[in-house]
Amino acid sequence: MSFMRALLRHIPAGNLAKDTLYVAFWQGVRVAGQALWVIVIARILGAKGYGTFTGMVGLATAIGGFTGLGLGLLMLQDAARDPSLFADRWYKALIACLASGTILGVLFIPISGWLFNSYAAWHLGVPIALSEIALLPIVSLAAFAFSARQLMSIAAALSALMASFRVLAALAFWCFVNQRTLETYAWLHACASLMCAALCVLWVKMRLHPGRTSFTLTRRDVTEGLGFSMVWMVNNALASLDKTLVLRLATSEVAGFYAAFYRFATVLALPVEALTMAAGPRLFRHGGGVEKHPLLIVHLLTSALVCGLLMGAFFWAFAGILPWLLGPTFEPAVPVARWMALFVPCYGLRVLGSNILITHDKKRIRVLIEGCGLVTLILTAVLWIPHYGLRGAVAMITTTEAALGVATWLVVWALQKKQST
């Protein structure tokens, strides 16, 4: 940490590079935690157990996109442009998260039981709903709150905090539980999420002092919030439903192979995600006409493309060591999963382009593009996974991300051309 501070002293205050380094540091901590979590859980549960858990979590994460009704992102947008609105937007978003998370969590339980048609699904439904639908969005809301106040390092730290709590749950499962069943771990996972969410809310109250305001929802809150909610839900679905589809259309073992290699591929997109998160408030001001940065988008695109290509090459070269980390049951998947190297740059470009659309008030366009991407994901899954297994799954996600990246950046390019004329 002292090295980080020494380095940052040489970067001008308020510089995007400084925020990016802060975010990259905490994102690195988060990614390290997620990688350790995958290693521990995959080794204990094996490919089948890990595939079952991640497939159900994927469905819960997609549904959890509706938790909060989009008021968290609305808070980020409004408070970034007018800090005096923070307290009002925070309180509304928190109440909406608590209420909607409870309702959606209850609905998830029968949906998962029906979809997967297994005894395990019914017993895993409650802890997974609690963790991914009710509690994880609260952590995201707290991160949005700190982002709105330009405290990017703390916002990134909250994601690292959640990853750390879940690593502790996995290590407790490994060290102190004699009968290591999937259901037992799911409850430890939920308890870790509960502790993290409570700590994040407390941190917001102690550091930002939002105060309490009256809870009133205007028509504008509902309409814009639902717009953000659709964006968040579709984004979550793109990032999580692929595991659910693989679990549903193939086997739990194939789902475990795919989910593990997907996780490590997204880990390599860390530099692009850090850059995108750090640039978020500035992009909101740029999109709202508050600040002008003529070359901001060009610099972001160039950085994302270079990082994505380098990280993709790294994944191709070193994918062979993953079975050594995850266990020998993952060895047969390496030759196929190595092709996910193509996914890495496509994913990074899509994430950056999608966030640019949000900050330029193009929520409907983003929802339309990503909705088409979700349809592409489902169609390619149905067509390829039953016949080609893991190969079909890798082709599904790579094709979807490539199509989304091209479509998103065509729209961003059109927007920039329009602004320059």
User: Which residues are CB-neighbours of 54 under 8 A, at least 6 positions away?
Assistant: 243, 247, 255, 256, 259
Residue 84: which domain range?
A: 2-420
Q: Is 295 helix (H, G, I), strand (E, B) or coil?
A: coil
Query: How many CB atoms neighbour CB 205 within 10 A?
Result: 15
- The alpha carbon dihedral of 91, 201, 151, 63 has a sign of negative
- The alpha carbon dihedral of 7, 9, 10, 13 has a sign of positive
Using the 8-state DSSP alphabet, how is residue 65 labeled? G
Q: Please tell me the pTM assigned to this model.
A: 0.80
Mean pLDDT calculated for residue range 385-402: 95
In angstroms, what CA-CA distances link 104 with 15, 69, 101, 194, 386?
40, 11, 5, 17, 30
Whether 3 has a pLDDT exceeding 50, the answer reads no
Task: Give the model confidence (pLDDT) of 49-84 as tens digits.
Answer: 899 999 999 999 999 989 998 999 899 888 888 888
Between 77 and 280, the higher pLDDT residue: 77
Between 39 and 289, the higher pLDDT residue: 39
End-to-end CA distance of the chain: 45
Mean pLDDT calculated for residue range 103-127: 85
Three-class HEC string of 87-109:
HHHHHHHHHHHHHHHHHHHHHHH
Q: Residue 339 carries which side chain, given as an amino acid letter?
A: W
Give the position of tokens 């070359």: 295
User: How buried is 13 (Cβ within 10 angstroms: 0-12 exposed, 13-18 middle, 19+ buried)?
Assistant: exposed
pLDDT at residue 135 in the model: 96
pLDDT at residue 1 in the model: 40
Whether 12 has a pLDDT exceeding 50, the answer reads no
In angstroms, what CA-CA distances link 42 with 49, 63, 106, 191?
8, 24, 28, 20
> If you average pLDDT over every residue of the chain, what do you get?
85
Give the position of tokens 């259309």: 249
Task: Give the model confidence (pLDDT) of 287-333 as tens digits.
Answer: 544 455 556 777 788 888 888 899 999 999 988 888 888 888 888 89
Q: Is 209 helix (H, G, I), strand (E, B) or coil?
A: coil
Structural domains of the chain, count? 1
Task: Give the model confidence (pLDDT) of 330-360 as tens digits.
Answer: 888 999 989 999 999 999 899 888 888 877 7
The span from the CA of 413 to the CA of 393, in Å, is 30
Q: What pLDDT band is residue 221 in, cutting at 50, 70 and 90?
A: confident
The span from the CA of 284 to the CA of 293, in Å, is 12
pLDDT at residue 9 in the model: 44
